[in-house]
A and B are shown apart, each in its own frame.
Chain A
Amino acid sequence: MSVETAVETKTIFGSEVPQPPQHGAAGGVMRGLNFGTGLVGGIGLAAVAGWITAILTPSSASNASFAPMEPTYVYLAVLLGWVVGFMLGIGAFVGPLRWVVGRDVTHADAEYMAGKDLGRKRYWKYTTDHKVVGIQYLIVTMLLLGFAGLLAMLIRTELGMTWTSLFTPAFYNSMIGTHGIAMIIGMIVVVSGPLGNFIVPMMIGARDMAFPRLNALSLWLFVAAVPMLVSSMFMGGIQDGWSVYQPLASQAPVGMLGYQMTIIVFAISTAVASVNLMTTILTMRAKGMTWSRTPIFVYGIFAASIMGLYAFPFFQYSQILGLADRVFATSFFDPLNGGSVWLYENLFWLLGHPEVYVILIPSTAVALELMPVFLRKPLFSFNFAVAGIVGVVALSGLVWAHHMYMTGWAPAANYPFMLSTELISIPVGFLVLVAIGTFWRGTAWTRLPLMAVYAVIFNKMIGGVTGVYLSDVPADQYFHGSMFVVAHFHFMLMGAGLFGAMAGIAYFFPKMTGRFLDERTGSIGLWTAFVGFQITFISMFVAGLQGQPRRVLDFDDQFNLSNWISTIGAYVIGIGMLIFLSAIINSWRSGVIASSNPWGSKSLEWQTETPVPLENFPVLPVVTERPYNYGVPDPYEAELDSIDEDLTEKAGTK
């Protein structure tokens, strides 16, 4: 058999490149698939799976407490059908299925999948281009955060109306649970998703991610997970807080399945995204980009990927076991049948603590990344910034049981966990040092991104100091489970995390959309939200100090005042966030056109043109110097040098 055919060549950036032979014609069913067919597939398969399960389940099936099992089985089948159907419908399995039938994804197909010449349609498809995935992540995350923020408003409304009750206790509990987990998922994604995908490959001088199709997979799994979370609100809800402690969760209505399936699917998405980002960063950095020439944001995303990769499996196991308890009547977490509630708590917090650093480190890294640009000086002590990130990653897996000081699980283990938790303040302190060292004597170009960094550092200091109380077992004996904890982690996750994400979005907005984020509206939104944030959560600290437990919908009169103030503040945050959102939407549609490098940055991602072409760089860049090479010689150093000379002369004449 002869395979002798004329080798096709193609002109790529002005040179003839031989093309490998392709098997099979380009095109096929893939070209007709998009988000719409995904919805049809998902809803269709969900309906079919639910219907078949309903037929197959005997109506008498019930669990040990005589509750009928049919809704559980049907809802589970619907959720599974949704995920599989949606992923099939949107074309997630086109590549693997082609392998199965022995056809290649041809070059033309790959270009089609990357969204070449598709215009706006590519944002609705299973597109592999990292820039499209980044924008898609941004939109989905903002929708999710908006949904969770709406729940936050409802929660604060209920708590502020101390004279009456708006919601039933069951619905209130389901709101706090859904708010919690939706915010956590949204915050995990909000920097690593949009900026990690859009910016990181450009920042390291690569043409795309290492595994473009996996990139799309991680996004669309995330998209498939979100409706399951929302659907659980209509199936009795997640009434057990975001941590869904067992055995309370086993009492919950079938809505709990929505939580469990969301986590199981989201953990796969996170694993895929983490591996993809790590491989990209490890193997695809531009020539000459040694580790000391790699921007700090890349370190931040890499660190978040490592932590996500090892932490999420624990969460996934815990939910798979919980799902088995519910569906198959196993008893992993049922103490009456030999299970352990402490097992669940351990598995959960093995995720739970690294996860807060998965949120915090990328937003901190964004802040550190943009500071040198706006202060026109190098990042202070780059090595310390890296050491800080490495230290946080190293300790992140050793501190989880500080959430369990008061559980009675292992009182003797409180000593080492207090030690490891308080040690984390040292690497975090490094990051603070880097930030204030970069501010030191810098000419601040007070544009919106830099101003957001001020907010981040302020909030992070408050969150950090209050965290020191909570890391201490004796103080935690008072604060554990109180509103003080709620205020503390909102300062960290929202005050440092979300404001950091806002800084990052404002900074990279010109690269992502070609337009400036409107300075005026954006700043008004940012500072309104900031003021509201301080009002809300400082009065929540007060409620916690007074002894108000968290997750209560009703409380003693002594807590009324702080809760009223807190609710007023929450509305101010809401208004601020809406203003910021309107700034994003308006600027995206009709903002001031930005040049390709409006901030005058020296970083690689700004050196390519805007809008960024499909493969980012016409010629792959070569890096020859350290990042953040801004600044002029320090005048004081010259002065010191002259003193040196004087001293040398004096020593010489002695």
Chain B
Amino acid sequence: MSADTLIPEEPEAPTNRPPSMQRVRLWLQRPYARKVLILTVLIGFLLLPLAWLLLAGMNQTGAPASEIMKDIEQTVFVFTLVSIPITAFVFAVLVYSLIGWRQISGDEPPMQDSPAIRTNTIGVILWTVSSTLLAMFLVVWGLVELAQITANSYGTISADEQPGQKSSEIINVTGQQWVWTFEYPEHNGLTSDILYLPLDRPVYFNVTSKDVIHNFWAVELGVKIDANPGAITQTGVTANKLGTFNVRCAELCGMHHAYMQTQIQVLEQDAFDSWVRESGGKKTS
């Protein structure tokens, strides 16, 4: 007797359950399901302004003043939008369980139990798939943005750069308790305690510390890196907005950590050159 004779000849038996799509349709007809979904949408729209409010908070002192900061804000904006639906759904269930499904108070345990829902395959699969997709989206977005920011900050000096036409600027940033010092090695080692930056030109920072760990945070430019004693960390930025911005220390560095802050002045190239000249540095040739 060969194996294939074991296969039954009659057509497949009818399924015992309605197909999934129909189950979902039936589910949507239940009153509470619709109400929770409507509540989700309502709460979602209530939360929506957050996406802009967060950026408004970040932009109070003139940010974004660089492409990096723009990327950061874009990330914050997208992440807020992405997390609103799931947050709204959870909040909707919490709210509906207080106002929609029956609730009782009192000293004695409820007389009647609730429906014994041990699991729900469709719900669980939906949740797992959507949360995994969401996490994957966040990861991919983050990796791409990180690569882009890294290119923007550490990017190699561009190939079309001609000798004598330097387009970039190098600044040695040194933290010590509790001041920042900015040295311009390409201008006779000119030093300053205010960070002067030329507009629209890439600047590379070599950051280090003389004593403890500090953190060089150019707030509106979205630059942040630790200043470690005994090591040099590197980053960079191209400021694309004129104005006065803030440098703060973002790592506790002792007593006067709070006062370890200074200004950033982003200047036009001409103004930057004249600042260099007046402060005794060599003009960019």
B residues less than 8 Å from A335 (CB atoms): 228-231
Contacts of B131 in A (CB 8 A): 425-426, 429, 433
Check A248/B90 contact, CB under 8 A, given A418-B142, A644-B16: no
Bound-state Cα–Cα, A445 to B105, Å:
5
Q: Does A170 contact B (CB under 8 A)?
A: yes
Q: Which of A193-201, A498-506, A527-535, A552-560 contacts B (4 or more CB under 8 A)?
A: A552-560
Known contacts: A407-B226, A549-B248. The answer to whether A477 contacts B119 by CB under 8 A is no
CB of B123 within 8 A of CB of A437, answer: yes
User: B223-252: which residues lie under 8 A (CB-CB) from chain A?
Assistant: 223-226, 228-231, 233-234, 246, 248-252
Binary contact track B32-51/A, C-beta < 8 Å → 1, others 0: 10000000000000000000
Query: Is B114 in the interface zone, CB < 8 Å from A?
Result: yes
Which 5 residue pairs across A and B have the least CB separation, nearest first?
A: A631-B116, A335-B230, A408-B233, A481-B250, A651-B14
* Contact stretch, chosen from B70-78, B162-170, B179-187, B264-272: B70-78
A247 at the interface (CB under 8 A from B): yes
Chain A nearest CB, measured from B236 CB (Å): 12
Contact A443 to B72, CB < 8 A, known contacts A422-B139, A482-B250:
no
A-B contact list, 9 entries, CB within 8 Å: A169-B255, A240-B252, A408-B228, A433-B127, A436-B93, A439-B94, A477-B72, A549-B258, A651-B15
Q: Are A547 and B219 in contact (CB under 8 A)?
A: yes
Q: Is B188 an interface residue when CB atoms closer than 8 A count as contact?
A: no
Residue among A169, A380, A481, A600 with the most chain B CB within 10 A?
A481
A163 interface contact, C-beta 8 A: no
Q: Quick one: closest B residue to A387, CB to CB?
A: B128
Against B, the Cβ 8 Å flags (1 = close, 0 = not) of A371-401 are 0000111101111100000000000000000
Given A248-B252, A634-B115 in contact, is the A468-B30 Cβ separation under 8 Å? no
Within the assembled complex, what's the spacing in Å between the Cα atoms of A472 and B119?
33
Evaluate whether A477 and B222 lie within 8 angstroms (CB atoms) in the complex, with A335-B231, A408-B233 already known: yes
Q: Which of A443, A546, A558 contacts B103 (CB 8 A)?
A: A443
**Chain A 524-553 interface 0/1 with B at a Cβ cutoff of 8 Å (1 = within):** 000000000000000000100111011111
Contact: A248 with B254, CB < 8 Å? yes
Is A632 part of the binding interface, using a Cβ–Cβ cutoff of 8 Å?
yes
Residue of B nearest to A458 (CB): B94
Measured in the bound complex, the distance between the Cα atoms of B110 and A554 in whole Å is 54
Interface of B is mostly: mixed
Minimum CB distance partner of B14 in chain A: A651
User: Is A599's beta carbon under 8 Å from chain B?
Assistant: yes
Contacts of B219 in A (CB 8 A): 547
Question: What is the bound-complex CA distance between A558 and B218, given in angstroms?
Answer: 17
Please count how many residues in chain B sit with their CB below 8 Å of the partner chain's CB atoms.
98
Known: A444-B103, A551-B257. A457 touches B94 (CB 8 A): yes
Contact for A547 among B58, B105, B124, CB less than 8 A: B58
Bound-complex Cα distance A482 to B98 (A): 36
Contact assessment for A378 and B116 in the assembled complex, using a CB-CB cutoff below 8 Å: yes
What chain A residues lie within 8 Å of B104 (beta carbons)? 443-446
Q: Let me know if A9 is at the binding interface, CB within 8 A.
A: no
Q: Do B258 and A381 have beta carbons less than 8 Å apart?
A: no
Interface residues of B in 44-69 (CB under 8 A from A): 54, 57-58, 60-61, 68-69
Q: Is A473 an interface residue (CB 8 A)?
A: yes
Q: Which residues of A contact B224 (CB under 8 A)?
A: 406, 477-478, 480-481
Contact A376 B142 (CB under 8 A): no
CB atoms of B215 and A481 under 8 A apart: yes
**Do A341 and B213 have beta carbons less than 8 Å apart?**
yes
Contact assessment for A558 and B118 in the assembled complex, using a CB-CB cutoff below 8 Å = no
> A433-B124, A636-B30, A648-B14 known; A445 and B217 CB under 8 Å?
no
Q: Are A446 and B90 in contact (CB under 8 A)?
A: no
Check if A411 is an interface residue, CB within 8 A of chain B: yes
A-side residues, CB < 8 A to B, are 169-170, 173, 239-241, 245, 247-248, 251, 335-336, 340-342, 375-378, 380-384, 406-408, 411, 414-415, 418-419, 422-423, 425-426, 429-430, 432-433, 436-437, 439-447, 454, 457-458, 461, 465, 468-469, 471-475, 477-478, 480-482, 542, 545-547, 549-556, 558, 599-600, 630-636, 640, 643-644, 647-648, 651-652
Cα distance A240–B252 when bound, in Å? 7
- From residue B131, how far is it (CB to closest CB) to chain A in Å? 4
Residue of B30, B93, B118 contacting most chain A CB atoms (<10 Å): B118
A600 lies within 8 A of B117 (CB): no
Given A239, A631, A643, which contacts B18 in the complex, CB threshold below 8 Å? Answer: A643
Q: A406-B226, A472-B138, A481-B215 are in contact. Are A380 and B118 (CB under 8 A)?
A: yes
Q: Answer whether residue B112 sits at the interface, using C-beta atoms and an 8 A cutoff.
A: yes
Contact across chains for A546 and B58 when beta carbons are under 8 A apart: yes
Contact between B58 and A478, CB atoms less than 8 A apart: yes
> Given A477-B72, A481-B217, A549-B217, A432 and B252 touching (CB < 8 A)?
no
Is B145 an interface residue when CB atoms closer than 8 A count as contact? yes
Do A444 and B135 touch across chains, with their CB atoms under 8 A apart?
no
Cα A648 to Cα B259 in complex, Å, equals: 78
Contact of B90 among A340, A418, A461 (CB under 8 A): A461
A472 touches B142 (CB 8 A): yes
Which residues of B are found within 8 Å of A407, using beta-carbon distances? 213, 225-226, 228, 233
Complex Cα distance, B213 from A335, in Å, reads: 11
Task: Tell me the nearest residue of chain A to B219, going by C-beta.
Answer: A547
* Cβ contacts under 8 Å, A630 to chain B: 113-114, 116
A367 to chain B, nearest CB (A): 12
Tell me the bound Cα distance from A233 to B251 in angstroms: 22
